[in-house]
Chain A
């Protein structure tokens, strides 16, 4: 009995997840008499699969098969139907079935292979992120924002903002936290690419990704250190398993920056070896100076290039895979943001216009950044038996960063910062069942990292050389509490050893060592009140050992016109975060609400506090000291959707964040302002060959951030701004594939504005109107 409702409860989640629930139409009443029946079978051993869920989305019908996998759906009209079958631990299967009178059809699902196999971290299985609030950018959303940076894409999600340094550098901010407080998992590997710097964007190619998930809770148990604000998970589609070539070609053109980009992808299976698949991908992007409404943002060009290759094999027991990606980016930093001292900064703020504006150019001059990132991943999984699977993952990353500054004496061509960061990550995870109902994973993970300042800059390193070694053990289990409630609980212990090697200002070599031991716990629940209402609760902890820059910075931060001082005595940040997420459908599915409330208390929150001024040959500079405080961040993310008619819908997305410094009884610096975005979406009927045509208009208001700490900033926060946008897209079949074209206008009215979360708001306005056009041709099954 127990197992029955357990399975049913999970299936309920699955159905809610994958289907459009609550379709009002019910064809039973229309006098149709056809019956579809048959069995849902395990493709492997041809045994019936118990309690699989079958549904016909087009007419909103769904039923459960019985314990033997036998199903029967009555009262259907004759015709062709797309039927979706889901089962615990299986990938959903879609089949189109011709129903005429009494039709018998058997569905075959691959059960063993899917049950415990797991390439990705988050997926549609309900046992991932059971109680964690999370949001996804699916393939469609990714297509629409093609050509944008990862941070820009994510900033469409409620609760996610962007911390910018001009038009070329953007970092995601989740629930008010960014940089080392947001963890990025690229292809399942912790992304390690100098995220301590506010002017360091994540070095990954959005074209390698088909889906991005943002986990909004404190999630150190599952993902390790740094997951205080949340986790960004990028995933590709699964590799093909059957022979046949498929792929895509994509081109993007952007008016602002007068450039564009493109992506090519090819994938296939291997004839005669079912389960073996491969994929090759390459992309590029080329942009010149961006434009603000009234002037050129000089030296904001950008070039990107990326390539990746992957190969993988999987069958009922095994999965092995290898992946390599290379990504290179060269970007210009707004010339006018390069200042010498506080006088220059005050002049820039007072004048209100950039002091350096030149004609549009594609050329990139100093100050500029040149980065390259390599990722190698190898993975193997083996199902030991029906109840356990071991997955081993190894990742190697090399991050090569050069930053060029404007220098005297012909030194501009020599990097001012030259860092080489190598990281090895290794995980061993056992996915298992305990008894009949509990399942989860337990594992060990390790990180070995070296950061080297490449000699030859002629400048004292901003951050010292260091070696970081960490190792942890974790366990995370899921168990149903009742048919409608699934619980999740787990813990992790991790130890980090940090070795520093640096020269003091008196040229003495010092090699201090730090050790941090941290632990995290999580408890979550997923409560499906009914099919249309679901709650998620999570209380979790996360930790972050202080970064070397917070411990050992000493010197002038040129971009910030400030002297920054580290504190070697700092200890780890510890976050306790609670999230409540309510997803619900009302009025027969015409209204959808998704509301997340959260509170995040961080002990030992590290930030820069002003600490007097210091006189230098360039005048007096404010001194900022890294200090720890008690911080509390709280807020709400809201998505409301209202289906006005069959073809028109209205959508609102709102993000509110508040950040308090509890020790100082002050607001936290650099917390995003309130944001609300309304969109009106029209789905158009077929026009000739064109399908899925969609037109939408968006209005985005970002309110002035008035909750700021006193005396910490150089200028008043910029005012409220309102931007309009338009977008349209449609697809049509072409040859054996599908053609997608779309266009998008952002900042339609060419509004002049500055954003509080843009560090270059002191120097220049934000980008003006931008017209993006994209075209995509997909062929095969891609």
Chain B
């Protein structure tokens, strides 16, 4: 009987010791929140006007990433019959300091390509940059607007596209394959 009591006392001590430890910090408490590193919250198309045309900007912002709040478009009207030198800036504003994702895209240029598909809007897009293999990336382009028109411009970023596919380096997405990292359709007015 005596030994029994002893065992129970030990057992009690062990149990209280374990539970006491647990109260210090709950093991399931997650580590302090991490910001998603690869999220693209912001895409900016900066239109630098050539030959006297004013600078313009198209911006897509989804501050909380996928899901959550709806994204916001900040739009501009492009000038008809003009030429713009366009550069794309991708940001992750969820981290501090703000992370410039477009630098990662540039660094992995061989594995990325932007595609531009205007619908209804009169414009022609030409790549003005190149990756290590001489194929376009699309972070820098020249966009030439035609007559006044209303439509959309769809901007797509593909990861691991087949840049040697037919028409792909010319900007035709049909045979590009790969996975879509970005697909944003901007409403566009040219006047």
A343 at the interface (CB under 8 A from B): yes
CB distance from A764 to the nearest CB of B (A): 14
A616 at the interface (CB under 8 A from B): yes
Within 8 A of A (CB), among B131-179: 156, 158-160, 177-179
Docked complex Cα distance between A186 and B89 (Å): 53
CB <8 Å contact, B67 and A556:
yes
CB <8 Å contact, A340 and B180:
yes
A530-573 interface bits toward B, Cβ cutoff 8 Å, 1 = contact, 0 = none: 00000000000000000000000011100000010100000000
A501 at the interface (CB under 8 A from B): yes
Residue from B27, B33, B41 having most chain A Cβ neighbours under 10 A: B33
CB <8 Å contact, A340 and B159:
yes
CB <8 Å contact, B66 and A344:
no
Q: Which residue of B lies closest to A499 (CB)?
A: B28
B70 at the interface (CB under 8 A from A): yes
Residue from A461, A555, A621 having most chain B Cβ neighbours under 10 A: A555
CB <8 Å contact, B108 and A459:
no
B191 at the interface (CB under 8 A from A): no
User: Which chain A positions have C-beta within 8 A of B178?
Assistant: 355
CB <8 Å contact, B180 and A344:
yes
Q: Say whether, besides A408-B104, A614-B67, A338 and B179 are in contact (CB < 8 Å).
A: yes
CB <8 Å contact, B30 and A617:
no
B105 at the interface (CB under 8 A from A): yes
Stretch in B7-15, B80-88, B122-130, B181-189 touching the partner: B181-189
B98 at the interface (CB under 8 A from A): no
Docked complex Cα distance between A509 and B28 (Å): 12
User: Which chain A positions have C-beta within 8 A of B43?
Assistant: 617
Q: Say whether, besides A408-B38, A503-B33, A450 and B70 are in contact (CB < 8 Å).
A: no
Docked complex Cα distance between A614 and B37 (Å): 21
B3 at the interface (CB under 8 A from A): no
B32-71 interface bits toward A, Cβ cutoff 8 Å, 1 = contact, 0 = none: 0110111011010000000000000000101011111011
User: Which chain B positions have C-beta within 8 A of A208?
Assistant: none
A399-410 interface bits toward B, Cβ cutoff 8 Å, 1 = contact, 0 = none: 000000011110
User: Which chain A positions have C-beta within 8 A of B37?
Assistant: 409, 411, 458-459
CB <8 Å contact, A555 and B38:
no
CB <8 Å contact, B31 and A501:
no
A689 at the interface (CB under 8 A from B): no
CB distance from B154 to the nearest CB of A (A): 9
Partner of A455, one of B34, B65, B156: B34
CB distance from A49 to the nearest CB of B (A): 39
Docked complex Cα distance between A459 and B31 (Å): 12
CB <8 Å contact, B182 and A617:
yes
Docked complex Cα distance between A466 and B177 (Å): 39
CB <8 Å contact, A460 and B36:
yes
B19 at the interface (CB under 8 A from A): no
CB distance from B32 to the nearest CB of A (A): 8
Docked complex Cα distance between A743 and B4 (Å): 61
Partner of A355, one of B31, B33, B101, B177: B177
Q: Say whether, besides A452-B27, A458-B38, A617-B40, A554 and B179 are in contact (CB < 8 Å).
A: no
B24 at the interface (CB under 8 A from A): no
Within 8 A of B (CB), among A491-527: 499, 501-503, 505, 507, 509
CB distance from A347 to the nearest CB of B (A): 8
CB distance from A468 to the nearest CB of B (A): 10
CB <8 Å contact, A505 and B64:
yes
Partner of A501, one of B28, B41, B64, B160: B28
Q: Which residue of A lies closest to B111 (CB)?
A: A408
User: Which chain B positions have C-beta within 8 A of A459?
Assistant: 34, 36-38
User: Which chain A positions have C-beta within 8 A of B160?
Assistant: 356, 406
CB <8 Å contact, B38 and A616:
no
Docked complex Cα distance between A508 and B38 (Å): 21
A453 at the interface (CB under 8 A from B): yes
Partner of B159, one of A408, A411, A465, A502: A408
Docked complex Cα distance between A417 and B68 (Å): 21
CB <8 Å contact, A408 and B181:
yes
Partner of A458, one of B34, B104, B177, B183: B34
Partner of B183, one of A355, A457, A465, A619: A619
Partner of B60, one of A339, A464, A617: A617
Q: Say whether, besides A554-B67, A556-B67, A616-B66, A340 and B28 are in contact (CB < 8 Å).
A: no
Q: Which residue of B lies closest to A355 (CB)?
A: B177
CB distance from B72 to the nearest CB of A (A): 10
Residue from A501, A503, A509, A618 having most chain B Cβ neighbours under 10 A: A618
Within 8 A of B (CB), among A99-140: none
Docked complex Cα distance between A502 and B33 (Å): 9
CB <8 Å contact, A455 and B181:
no
CB <8 Å contact, A458 and B30:
no
Docked complex Cα distance between A452 and B105 (Å): 32
Docked complex Cα distance between A614 and B67 (Å): 7
Q: Say whether, besides A344-B180, A455-B31, A501-B26, A406 and B38 are in contact (CB < 8 Å).
A: no
Docked complex Cα distance between A659 and B68 (Å): 33
A698 at the interface (CB under 8 A from B): no
CB <8 Å contact, A450 and B38:
no
Partner of A555, one of B27, B31, B67, B185: B67
Q: Which residue of A lies closest to B156 (CB)?
A: A343
CB <8 Å contact, B180 and A618:
yes
Docked complex Cα distance between A338 and B181 (Å): 11
CB <8 Å contact, B29 and A458:
no
Docked complex Cα distance between A467 and B22 (Å): 13
Within 8 A of B (CB), among A173-217: none
Docked complex Cα distance between A355 and B178 (Å): 7
A431-470 interface bits toward B, Cβ cutoff 8 Å, 1 = contact, 0 = none: 0000000000000000000111101011111001111000
Partner of A502, one of B30, B34, B62, B67: B30
Within 8 A of B (CB), among A381-436: 406-409, 411
Q: Which residue of B lies closest to A460 (CB)?
A: B36
Q: Which residue of B lies closest to A506 (CB)?
A: B64
Docked complex Cα distance between A614 and B31 (Å): 29
A615 at the interface (CB under 8 A from B): yes
CB <8 Å contact, A339 and B180:
yes
User: Which chain B positions have C-beta within 8 A of A168?
Assistant: none
Q: Say whether, besides A453-B30, A465-B28, A465-B29, A356 and B36 are in contact (CB < 8 Å).
A: no
A341 at the interface (CB under 8 A from B): yes
CB <8 Å contact, B183 and A618:
yes
CB <8 Å contact, B180 and A341:
yes
Q: Say whether, besides A407-B38, A458-B36, A501-B30, A556 and B180 are in contact (CB < 8 Å).
A: no
User: Which chain A positions have C-beta within 8 A of B180?
Assistant: 339-341, 343-344, 618-619
User: Which chain B positions have C-beta within 8 A of A563?
Assistant: 66-67
Partner of A618, one of B28, B34, B105, B182: B182
A316-355 interface bits toward B, Cβ cutoff 8 Å, 1 = contact, 0 = none: 0000000000000000000000111101100000000001
Q: Which residue of B lies closest to A621 (CB)?
A: B66
CB distance from B92 to the nearest CB of A (A): 10
A610-626 interface bits toward B, Cβ cutoff 8 Å, 1 = contact, 0 = none: 00001111110100000
User: Which chain A positions have C-beta within 8 A of B107?
Assistant: 409
CB <8 Å contact, B36 and A344:
no
User: Which chain B positions have C-beta within 8 A of A355?
Assistant: 177-178
CB distance from B178 to the nearest CB of A (A): 7
12 contacts between A and B (CB under 8 A): A340-B181, A341-B183, A406-B159, A450-B28, A458-B38, A459-B38, A464-B30, A565-B67, A615-B62, A616-B66, A616-B71, A617-B60
List of 4 A-B pairs having minimum Cβ-Cβ separation, nearest first: A340-B180, A619-B183, A340-B179, A458-B37
Apart from the given pairs A355-B177, A507-B33, A616-B67, 19 other A-B contacts in the complex at a CB distance below 8 Å: A339-B179, A340-B158, A340-B183, A406-B159, A408-B108, A408-B181, A409-B37, A451-B28, A455-B31, A460-B36, A464-B30, A465-B29, A499-B26, A502-B30, A505-B64, A615-B62, A617-B182, A618-B180, A619-B184
Enumerate chain A interface residues (CB-CB to B < 8 A).
338-341, 343-344, 355-356, 406-409, 411, 450-453, 455, 457-461, 464-467, 499, 501-503, 505, 507, 509, 554-556, 563, 565, 614-619, 621
